[in-house]
């Protein structure tokens, strides 16, 4: 029970309208958010300004934010190191794994959402999916390495695609199922009464409504695969086969002198596609997640 509050706070009308005006609220909110906004944007600023510095000025002492001029050549340099190929590798692995993940998650989510499974079974299946989230790549490094080596698939993309897809099944299924639950079943039932088969109603009624959610599930799988590092590090060997994330790390890891302007230029290249996607799809992403938040 909520306590009764005896009197409404005694504020003058003008003050109230000021306190509640959208502009006033906005200023306060932005002030409260400013530390996190600054901390979030800080690494991007570091990344971009360093990527545009002339090599000779990167280790300048005292350090400066900007070099004497904008050195766009850093991007050309990393491109010449073969980063284009690494981008293509990332795109191939990411697209294939995402497609595969959706290919198995979509039917699973449809089944969980539309057929009468016992509560116990649904509970069990969701528990099982949670366990697959615990089995992170790094924990089973030894196991994966042995299996991949036995199958002679070291330095090939096949195991990466398979494993990435599998790690995304849980999240995609959760998200799709919650979303499917919000699509009224009556729509399909009405179609059955009109003589549609289950398959026909699926194609003509369910699928068009389910596609936007699938696109968002795909986006999340996409982000995971594009950014993954541990498995790529484990399975891929040659620089030509490396994914873009792995290649960026290889410019830093285990080296004594690091050409930071090149590393940052590469980081910008690897980051740009995802950031652009995020900026353009921000609204859909949040809506999709709100739907998919596992209930």
Partner 1 sequence: MKQEKFSATALLFPSLLMALIVLGYPVLELLNTSTHSVNKFFNVGDFVLFQNYLNLFQDEFFRAALVRTLWWTLGVVGGTVFLSFPIALILNEEFYGQALARTIILLPWAVSLTIMAVVWRWALNGESGLLNLTLQSLGITHDRIQWLAEASTSFPMSILIGVLVSIPFCVTVLLGGLSSLQKDVYEAARVDGATGLLMFRHITLPMMKPFISIAVVLNVIYVFNSFPILWVLTEGGPVNSTDVLVTYLYKATSAKFFGDPGKGAALGIIMLIMLLIFSLVYARVAKEGDEVRA
Name which of residues 255 to 284 contact partner 1 (CB under 8 A).
258, 260, 263-264, 267, 270-271, 274-275, 277-279, 282-283
Question: Cβ closer to partner 1: 81 or 223?
Answer: 223
- Encoded tokens for 190: 């009405």
- Binder among 78, 160, 169, 191 for partner 1 (CB under 8 A): 169
Listed ranges 36-44, 75-83, 189-197, 205-213: which one lies at the site for partner 1 (CB under 8 A): 36-44
- Binder among 2, 119, 195, 256 for partner 1 (CB under 8 A): 2
Binding status of residue 221 toward partner 1 by CB under 8 A: no
Question: Cβ closer to partner 1: 241 or 267?
Answer: 267
Question: Interface residues for partner 1 in 171-210 (CB under 8 A)?
Answer: 173, 198
Question: Interface residues for partner 1 in 65-94 (CB under 8 A)?
Answer: 65
Binding status of residue 9 toward partner 1 by CB under 8 A: yes
Q: Where are the alpha helices (DSSP H) in the chain?
A: 13-20, 22-51, 73-78, 84-114, 119-134, 141-150, 157-181, 186-193, 198-201, 207-227, 230-235, 244-250, 260-292
Minimum CB separation from partner 1 for residue 77, in Å?
A: 17
Binding status of residue 30 toward partner 1 by CB under 8 A: yes
Binding status of residue 143 toward partner 1 by CB under 8 A: yes
Minimum CB separation from partner 1 for residue 220, in Å?
A: 9
- Binder among 12, 63, 120, 195 for partner 1 (CB under 8 A): 63
CA angle 286, 219, 211 (to 5 degrees): 85
In the chain, what is the greatest distance between 2 CA atoms, to the nearest angstrom? 78
For residue 56, the SS3 value is helix
Question: Cβ closer to partner 1: 106 or 241?
Answer: 106
For residue 8, the SS3 value is coil
Minimum CB separation from partner 1 for residue 274, in Å?
A: 4
Q: Rounded CA gap, 245 and 259, in Å?
A: 17
Torsion over CA: 183, 185, 187, 188 (sign)? positive
Cα-Cα-Cα-Cα torsion 135, 139, 144, 146, nearest 10 degrees, comes to: -140
- Binder among 55, 162, 183, 196 for partner 1 (CB under 8 A): 162
Which one-letter DSSP state was computed for residue 136? Answer: -
Minimum CB separation from partner 1 for residue 264, in Å?
A: 7
Listed ranges 12-20, 76-84, 204-212, 225-233: which one lies at the site for partner 1 (CB under 8 A): 225-233
- Binder among 19, 88, 138, 190 for partner 1 (CB under 8 A): 138
Binding status of residue 46 toward partner 1 by CB under 8 A: yes
Q: Rounded CA gap, 274 and 125, in Å?
A: 32
What are the C-alpha distances in Å from 143 to residues 138, 147, 231?
10, 6, 12
Total binding residues toward partner 1, as defined by CB under 8 A: 111
- Phi-psi region at 82: left, alpha or beta (left = phi > 0; alpha = psi -120 to 50): left
Question: Cβ closer to partner 1: 40 or 68?
Answer: 40
- Binder among 86, 89, 105, 214 for partner 1 (CB under 8 A): 105
Give 151's contacts (C-beta < 8 A, 6+ positions apart): 159
């Amino acid at each position: 029970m909520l306590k009764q509050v005896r009197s409404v706070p005694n504020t003058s009308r003008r003050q109230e309208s000021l306190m509640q005006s959208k502009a006033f609220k906005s200023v306060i909110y932005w002030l409260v958010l400013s530390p996190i906004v600054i901390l979030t944007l800080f690494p991007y600023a570091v990344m971009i300004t360093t990527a545009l510095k002339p090599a000779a000025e990167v280790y300048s002492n005292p350090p400066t934010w900007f070099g004497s001029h904008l050195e766009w050549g850093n991007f050309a340099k990393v491109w010449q190191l073969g980063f284009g190929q690494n981008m293509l590798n990332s795109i191939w692995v990411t697209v294939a794994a995402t497609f595969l993940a959706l290919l198995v998650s979509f039917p699973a989510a449809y089944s969980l959402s539309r057929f009468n499974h016992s509560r116990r079974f649904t509970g069990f299946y969701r528990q099982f999916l949670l366990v697959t989230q615990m089995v992170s790549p790094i924990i089973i490094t030894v196991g994966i390495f042995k299996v991949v080596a036995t199958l002679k698939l070291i330095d090939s993309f096949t195991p990466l695609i398979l494993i990435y897809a599998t790690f995304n099944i849980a999240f995609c299924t959760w998200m799709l199922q919650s979303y499917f639950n919000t699509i009224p079943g009556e729509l399909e039932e009405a179609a059955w009464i009109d003589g549609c088969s289950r398959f026909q109603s699926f194609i003509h009624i369910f699928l068009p409504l389910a596609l936007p959610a699938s696109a968002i599930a795909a986006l999340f799988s996409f982000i995971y695969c594009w950014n993954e590092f541990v498995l790529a590090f484990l399975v891929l060997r040659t620089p030509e086969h490396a994914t873009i994330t792995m290649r960026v790390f290889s410019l830093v890891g285990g080296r004594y002198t690091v050409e930071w302007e090149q590393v940052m230029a590469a980081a910008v290249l690897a980051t740009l596609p995802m950031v652009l996607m995020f900026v353009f799809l921000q609204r859909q992403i949040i809506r999709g997640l709100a739907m998919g938040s596992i209930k």
